[in-house]
Structure 1
Amino acid sequence: MAMRRPMLLLVLVLIAFSHFSMLTTSKNNNKVPKPKKTKPKFLKPNNPNPAFERFTVEIHNDLRMFILDAHCSSKDDDLGLHILFPDEEQDWSFHDNWLGTTEFHCRLEWQYGLLEFDAFHSNTDNLLIDYCANATCIWSARQDGVYLNNQDDDLVFYEYWDMLG
């Protein structure tokens, strides 16, 4: 019986070692390659038919520990109030109207700030040419203000919050 315990202990150590070596080798063999970042497609400023372009608007709550109330609407569509917890987002897609005058207005509010702005307007000072990479306007609500993605798909500062008292 005294001989069985060391033998049993040796078997358990060998099993544990082989299991550990399988874990470490499987981690190395299963590396997933990082996806290649694609260049954003630029909207054509002289596009004769912008109504065929499909646009997307995203509102991201990047406030670390705060809830964000987002209410967006156009002349024809009220998207309703969305309560976004940290790291959540609201998004919607649409085609510009045939006149090229589609506009979505948003009101974002959190515990310490409020901001009303045009989240999408097809006639605004090159908003679609300078920003909204891949026909997607990404708005990011952060503690210091609201950011918007540019054509390089980087977030750039857009506007400070109107602070609530």
Structure 2
Amino acid sequence: MASFSNRIFLLVSLTLMFSGGATRLVTNETGGTRGDFVISPYKTVVQVFNRLNSTSFTIHCKSKDDDMGTHVVGPKGNYQFKFRANFWGTTLFFCGVSCAKGWTAFVVYSIKRDIDRCQTYSMWEVRSDGVYGFRQQDKVCDLRFPFKNKP
């Protein structure tokens, strides 16, 4: 006979399998996790807009498990990808951006930082001095990663 914890694990696994959801840890105001989880049946969209004047940029995003490849984004264009947070609550994507103004590398999505900041939509802009991130709920810029000069 299966133990109680094995039954709970089986129930959660079956729920995730049939709902298509993912588990997300819920963070508290100090940035730590509360130890509970929320089943998320939706994907998160990351979108990076080109706000450079008449210039393209190159972007390469990846996680531990997924490499999104290298893409050139033309003037007034954008690049986007979608994903579901993983079961363990460790989802993290990072990107490198390069253009004539310089380059930068940054975390484009971290479940620990972004669960309340941009749960289903993560918006970014590449500007002449760096990359800017915006909160989903009020579109306020709250993150900035300045360009470093090219060697």
TM-score, normalization: structure 1?
Answer: 0.64
Matched, 1:160 2:149: no
Query: Which structure features the higher share of strand residues?
Result: 2
- Which runs of no fewer than 5 residues in structure 1 stay unpaired? 1-43
Q: What fraction of aligned residue pairs are identical, expressed as a percent? A: 26
**Correspondence for 1:61:** 50
| RMSD, aligned CA | 2.2
1:63–1:143 CA contact under 8 A, matched in 2: yes
The letter of the residue matching 1:90 is Y
**Partner-residue secondary structure (3-state), 2:37:** coil
State the SS of the aligned residue for 2:115. helix
Give the stretch that moved more between structures: 83-92 or 44-53: 44-53
1:137-160 CA-to-partner distances (Å, cap 9, x unmatched) read 111000022111113023345121
> In 2, distance between residues paired with 1:147 and 1:121?
15
**Using the alignment, how far apart are the partners of 2:105 and 2:39 within structure 1?**
26
Q: Structure 1 residue 123 and structure 2 residue 112: aligned?
A: yes
Determine if contact 1:70/1:83 at 8 Å carries over to the other structure. yes
Look up the equivalent residue of 1:77 and give its one-letter code: D
Q: Is the 8 A contact 2:106 2:145 kept in 1?
A: no
- With normalisation by structure 2, the TM-score equals 0.70
Give, in angstroms, the shift of residue 51 of structure 1: 4.5
- Three-state SS of the structure 2 residue aligned to 1:49 is strand
Whole-angstrom CA distance in 2 between matches of 1:89 and 1:50 = 29
Separation in 1, partners of 2:78, 2:44: 16
CA distance in 2, matches of 1:63, 1:128: 29
Q: Please, which of 52, 68, 73 is the counterpart of residue 84 of structure 1?
A: 73
1:21-100 to 2 correspondence within 5 Å?
45=27, 48-100=37-89
The aligned counterpart of 2:123 is 138
What are the ranges of 5 or more consecutive residues in structure 2 without an aligned counterpart?
1-25, 28-33
Q: Which structure's CA Rg is the greater one?
A: 1
Distance 1:161 1:62, change over 3 A: same
- The alpha-carbon deviation at position 128 of structure 1 amounts to 3.1
